[in-house]
Structure 1
Amino acid sequence: MALIASARFPISEPFAGGLEAHTWWLAQALHRRGHHVELFAAPGSDPVLGARELPVRKTALSDAARSDTSMPGAAWMEEHHAYLALMLDLARDGEHRFDVIHNNSLHYLPVAMASALRVPVVTTLHTPPTPWLESAIKAQDSCPVTFTAVSRFTAGAWQATVPAARIVRNGVDTHFWKPGRGGGDLAWSGRLVPEKGPHLAIEAAQAAGVPLRIAGPISDRAYYEDRIEPLLGKGARYVGHLDRQELAGLLGSASAALVTPCWDEPYGLVVAEALACGTPVCGFDRGALGEILTPECGLLAPPGDVLALAELIPRTMKLDRQAARRRAVQFCSLERTADAYTSLYEEVAR
């Protein structure tokens, strides 16, 4: 099978975000099950995946084209060219090389050009509706793609455009994400960008009087310098962009994990990772977080309400760590995800 990933970020540690981490784990799980997986991803992706990395080609536009008034940003153009070259390659002879193509990217071209392929295409919806992807679906009288969504919330958001998306939640490897001893500082992990709201996590932890460690890539430098750095100290510490082993240690040692989305979180892989480490979660009730958490393993405050979140932190720290671990094993495991995708691949390949 072919697994289409991000052309912008390599599928390697430390991961640029949850999408890259999910793709890495899914490729690992499928490989362990005996599937031959070819990964279409950015150069520099992890060779340990057991799949042959096929670096996508970047465009070499003429000076005239680059100076044209219609020229978009260079990054947008390079990503467009990468997926265009990939889809044309698959249209030529993809049916002789693959039984199924799984589009795990956020780009519109694998959907827009699926009808040119003679091999079934599965696309996972990782985000709320975007104009480019919605356009790619609606431009076709009958879109030949089989869609999955990472949560019931995300499936509902796409209902008007994709009425029959199947729900296949992202999973975490519960053999790797093991229970920790807990009892330490609070933890927050993810991309440091406004929509993830780490500044609100700092404010809530400081209001509750509990130390907080923050981990993740600084994806928006201006936001970090303007909103995060001034809040550090007073019990809040940025510990860097951690690899998965270091992140598992951070989450496992935490007394609770804070999750503070300022957008409708489509799934929330960091929630599943924390639960697998036996760490209860305290967060904002946005997007799919309410699907993952139960009162036994996590507590949710109204969106954006820092004081309400702060009040829930001491209660969350007292929740049963074994209940958090059980929820991850029963609801968020990578094995469940791999089972669902394997069954779907077999179905569409028939």
Structure 2
Amino acid sequence: MKIALVALSYRPIHSKALGGIEAFTFKLASEFHNRGHQVTLFGNADSKIPGKVVGITNGQKLMREGWPLADRLFVRKYVTFQLMAMLEALRREDEFDIIHSNLAEWHYAFLLSDLSKKIVVTTHGTYTPKPDMEYILSKYKGPHMVNISQFLIDSVFPKYNPRSLIYNGVNLDEYEYCEKKDDYYLWLGRISPVKATKEALEAAHKADVKLKVVGEADYQDYFDDEVKPLFDKKREFLGPKFGREKIELIRKAKGLIFTTNWPEACPMTILEALSCGTPVIGFDMGAVGELIENNVSGYIVKGGDVSGIAKKMKEVDQIDVRECRKRATKFSLDKMLDAYEAVYQKVINKNKLK
């Protein structure tokens, strides 16, 4: 197939991409290329994938210190360049069998769906206010939608069709199973209030356990004022890690701490940990309960309950790490890719009948 992937453009898409959607898009591009498909990515000009890149902008020039969406000028540029990526793919639609939007702004695909019947859109989260979503869904028929969790379907898109449920997938060969663990816990993600980094550190202090924090600071003030003071000999900051270094940290951890104040749609860090046989202790937000089997492959704690996280840190040895790996096999990368190929083919076949 000839596949156009429309990507977030304010950051490059590559093997060390920061952000869940960016990492997902890179994995999709790489794996479809490996399966023999012709992949073209519309997004940041500095992107590096095993395929073609149609550069919309050098997104690094849009960034500023701290979380960029707090900057109104950035928001204007951000919206403009996401639309440019989508419109450029649509302008060249005759070159492709499928145009797959992976923008956080899923509604762009709806607003532009009359321009092409080749669009597939993956909804990666609840980024649009619900009244706006309901209005858009009532106004536009829209393209084939892929939801990445039942949580998204139930909370945001309960009546929409056509759609498919395809969970994110983890490469079971890349994130190898490891039974022998070291004496530390791991927190992995963007360091920001919405990811509740501070709460993970507070729990580690309460439980008096070692915690390694891996990630990049989105809000520098938050990091300096609320997170950094909690580091000491047992609680250390490692900065962002990639590739084998990141994987080894996950494999050897006693447990992954998944604190979040945001309703995550299908967090990859949980799947990566489970694949490595690493139990997950997480707040009950979004789709967390769909991925973790409570008391089997990890523990689910009420959102915001720091003491609850600390308590379960003391009980993590009761989890059979083989059950974690077993759980991960339900969310394999191959299953995800097969499902997307089936959706693509369904859309292609439907268009042939018209």
Using structure 2 for the length normalisation, give the TM-score: 0.88
Equivalent residue, structure 2, for 1:31: 33
Aligned residue identity for 2:12: P
Percent identity, aligned pairs only, is 29
Unaligned 5+ runs, structure 2: 60-70, 350-354
Query: How does 1:176-215 map onto structure 2 within 5 Å?
Result: 176-180=174-178, 181-215=180-214
Alpha-carbon separation, structure 2, partners of 1:98 and 1:27 = 14
> How do 1:1-350 and structure 2 match up within 5 A?
1-46=3-48, 49-57=49-57, 73-94=72-93, 96-107=94-105, 108-117=107-116, 119-128=117-126, 130-131=128-129, 134=132, 138=136, 141-159=139-157, 162=160, 165-180=163-178, 181-294=180-293, 295-329=295-329, 331-350=330-349
Once the two structures are superposed, residues 80-105 of structure 1 have per-residue CA deviations (whole angstroms, 9 ceiling, x without a partner) of: 332333333334341x2011111011
Q: One-letter code of the match for 1:183?
A: D
8 Å Cα contact 1:57-1:81 kept in structure 2: no
In the TM superposition, residue 264 of structure 1 has moved relative to its aligned partner by 1.4
User: Does structure 1 conserve the Cα–Cα contact (< 8 Å) formed by 2:42 and 2:89?
Assistant: no
Shift of 1:137: 6.7
Aligned to 2:65: none
The structural deviation recorded for 1:133 is 10
2:230 and 2:274 mapped to 1: Cα distance?
A: 27
Q: 1:85 to 1:257 in 2, by over 3 A?
A: closer
The residue type paired with residue 247 of structure 1 is K
State the 1:183 CA deviation.
2.6
Secondary structure at the counterpart of residue 54 of structure 1: strand
> Match of 1:127, as an amino acid?
G
Q: CA offset at residue 166 of structure 1?
A: 2.0
Q: Which amino acid aligns with 2:114?
A: S
* Structure 1 unpaired stretches of 5+: 60-71
Whether the 8 Å CA contact 1:29–1:334 is kept in 2: the answer is no
Taking structure 1 as reference, are residues 134 and 171 closer, same or farther at Cα in structure 2, changes over 3 Å only?
farther
Q: Could you tell me which amino acid in structure 2 is paired with residue 53 of structure 1? A: V
Does the aligned pair in 1 maintain the 2:217–2:223 contact within 8 Å? Answer: yes
For this pair of structures, how many residues does the alignment match?
Answer: 333
- The answer to whether the 8 Å contact 2:43/2:57 transfers is no
Kept in 1, the 8 Å contact 2:45–2:57? The answer is no
Shift of 1:114: 2.2
| Separation in structure 1 between the aligned mates of residue 134 and residue 77 of structure 2, nearest angstrom | 19
Q: Structure 1's 187 and 91: CA in aligned 2 closer, same or farther, altered over 3 A? A: closer
Partner letter of residue 314 of structure 2? P
Please provide the CA RMSD for this pair.
2.2
Shift of 1:36: 0.9
Distance of 2:216 and 2:204 partners within structure 1: 20
* Greater mean deviation of Cα atoms: 10-19 or 168-177: 10-19
**What secondary structure, in the 3-state scheme, does the structure 1 residue paired with 2:314 have?**
helix
Indicate conservation of the 8 Å contact 1:128/1:158, yes or no: yes
Residue 279 of structure 1: CA displacement?
0.4
Deviation at 1:131, TM superposition (A): 3.5
**Structure 1's 305 and 214: CA in aligned 2 closer, same or farther, altered over 3 A?**
same
Q: CA–CA distance in 2 between the matches of 1:13 and 1:89?
A: 24
Residue 65 of structure 1 is matched in structure 2 by none
How far apart are 1:14 and its partner, in Å?
A: 2.9
Cα distance in 2 for residues equivalent to 1:132 and 1:151 = 17
CA distance in 2, matches of 1:283, 1:176: 23
- Check 1:230–1:50 CA distance in 2 against 1; reply closer, same or farther (3 A cut): same
